[in-house]
Chains A and B, each alone.
Chain A
Amino acid sequence: MEEAAQADDVDLGFVEESDSYLLTNTYFPSKVGGRPAWLDLENLPDPEELRCASCNEPCIFLCQMYASLDDPDTFHRSIYVFMCKKPACCQVNRSDNFVVFRSQLPRKNRFYSFEPPQEDEAKAETAHFCPLCIVCGCKGPFQCPKCKSTFYCGPEHQRLDWKSGHRDKCGMGKASPLFPEYEIVLEAEKSSRTQEVSDDEEQENRQLAEYQKLVDAGKVGEFKDVPEAELLKFTQEEDETFSNFQKIVAREPEQILRYCRKGQPLLISSTNIPQPDTIPKCPMCGDERVFEFQIMPQLLNYLREDGLALDWGTLVIYTCVNSCEVDNQYVREYIHKQDIVTTNQ
């Protein structure tokens, strides 16, 4: 079977556990879960815009991608994906419960420094080695018995913290609707072309010779004289799109994201393919939207969601080809959800 043509420079995203401080907006992260690290800090989207189209409840942050382009206007550029995870809103092949926003800033802006941020390793190391008391910052060998995630140096500070607000916040972690937080690390996908044998004819001759050897050894199967049609009646139809998807994913099975601006998405099913006429044009500048990146179903393994309604085949995100901007607002972009057809044909 021929391999589907893919743009060669696809970047693959993987999740990695990371220190929380590195996932704040100073470091322009690409991340999954937790709280969004906003880029433009002033003109944030209104809560009304972040509501699920089906149930009108607030959406939860799923992931964000820091994807800058060459223009000076888009020196900083982030794309945010929000979703509503209620089972009733997660419909097959419909993306109503998703919201995507894009934000961008030039290098010189009033929120961030002109120079790249320096990672303060020293600060990280000390906090890592042993837990610190949340009140005074000293060594905290005691922990809150209820939530087990807050540490104290002694009963005095524990009482103090409890009175001044921990009582209300305690245990919030478990009831938090947010997804677990990870960093997205990008790597270039190894091009498959380099692995293919270049000389087709020579390879074919080798294969024919190998086949002949098998025939002579009597290893071509006991049904070598049975017509092919009879055997075919016992076989299932192969889902070629899905097989191709699996073949490409198999090179790096843990990938959760594929980035290839203006490339082609890797489809998981032959139904519900995003057609150029179904992708709406950019509301700001009226130009078309192009494929930017897609989220893979492997991400669901890391979200630790117990509910079974949360499922997708692949989430394909399309953004304005000009990456246009109006008044430093967060611009809505289009997302297409493709599900794996689960009914038996």
Chain B
Amino acid sequence: MADAPSGGGRGGFGSRGSGRGGRGGRGRGRGRGRGRGKEDQKEWVPVTKLGRLVRDGKIRTLEEIYLYSLPIKEFEIIDFFLGPSLRDEVLKIMPVQKQTRAGQRTRFKAFVAIGDHNGHIGLGVKCSKEVATAIRGAIILAKLSVVPVRRGYWGNKIGKPHTVPCKVTGKCGSVSVRLIPAPRGTGIVSAPVPKKLLMMAGIEDCYTSARGSTGTLGNFAKATYAAIAKTYAYLTPDLWKEMQLGKTPYQEYANFLAETNKGISGRQIEV
């Protein structure tokens, strides 16, 4: 096995040897409560570059991250922007069994949807030996998969947006699903899973129209999802005004800092 690095006194006087008796006691104690029972919130130490940018407050909204399609790997990022408004809901818990030599092993699979009823929705699935662990893990994965949903009006622009902004179609296999704006009070006319997701995202009214072999449930669901994703891809008249091509958060700050810091990290401004 490894050469027992914490063996006292064996070889060396440094931090891992015993020559630092006085130090050992002081070790990591300064300014941190150690050995206190299980503290609820350990402060988040980001691991990814995006996490560091978010924690330093260099990114103002979640939408900036979506705009540049940067993958989110740390759920604390979503918590940072949407934290208190997110509601999670367990959609399904099911036992799954695996055959082993010693019989059957049962694990639990949990599906959790998370949304803030205001334009963001995510769905996560986790399998684990314990029910509670599966639910916790699924919530984290749901947060990582949060996507924005654009809402618009059916007719008069009174009150808050309540439906899809325009007719959008998603296609998968032979199935094409069309989401159509609906007047207030219609509710969501759709299959159960996308209906739930649309509701949690904050869409109140929507017609759907499907064509193709909708019996293939997988394709049907994927097509609906594709249609929802297109709500932000559709160029509506109010977006016709030309917008300056923006820089990714990484580039935006690299330029700013290269200008203010003279000579440290070299002027590498990409065009």
B17 at the A interface (CB under 8 A): yes
Query: Which stretch of B179-187, B231-239, B259-267 is in the interface?
Result: B259-267
Contact partner of A239 (CB less than 8 A), chosen from B6, B73, B129, is B73
- Which chain B residues have a beta carbon within 8 Å of chain A's beta carbons? 1-6, 10-20, 22-23, 27-28, 30, 42-49, 52-53, 69-71, 73-74, 89-95, 105-106, 108-109, 111, 123-131, 137, 141, 144-145, 192-194, 196-197, 217-218, 221-222, 225, 250, 253-254, 257-258, 261, 263-266, 268
Chain A residues contacting B125 (CB-CB under 8 Å) are: 231-232, 235
Q: Which residues of A contact B127 (CB under 8 A)?
A: 1
Among A42-50, A130-138, A213-221, which stretch is in contact with chain B?
Answer: A213-221
> Is the CB–CB distance between A223 and B192 below 8 Å?
yes
Q: Is the CB of A228 within 8 A of B109?
A: yes
What 1/0 flags go to A187-199 for Cβ under 8 Å of B? Answer: 1100000000000
- CB neighbours of A305 from chain B (8 A): 265
Closest A residue to B121 by CB, please name it. A234
Q: Could you jot down 17 A-B contacts, CB within 8 Å?
A: A16-B30, A119-B20, A188-B6, A208-B95, A220-B92, A221-B91, A224-B92, A228-B92, A229-B218, A231-B125, A233-B221, A236-B144, A262-B1, A268-B47, A296-B47, A307-B257, A308-B250
A227 close to B (CB within 8 Å)? yes
Q: Mark A322-339, 1 if CB is under 8 A from B, else 0.
A: 000000000000000000
Residues on B with beta carbons closer than 8 Å to the beta carbon of A1: 127-128, 137
Q: Give A282 to B11 CA distance when docked, in angstroms.
A: 23
Residues A1-38 near B (CB distance < 8 A): 1, 7, 9, 11, 14, 16-17, 22, 27-30
- Bound CA–CA A30/B27 (angstroms): 13
Residue A202 lies at the interface, judged by CB distance under 8 Å to chain B: no
Among A11, A88, A231, the residue within 8 A (CB) of B92 is A231
* A226 contacts B192, C-beta separation under 8 Å: yes
A102 at the B interface (CB under 8 A): no
A297–B74 Cα distance when bound, in Å, is 13
Q: Which residues of B contact A156 (CB under 8 A)?
A: none
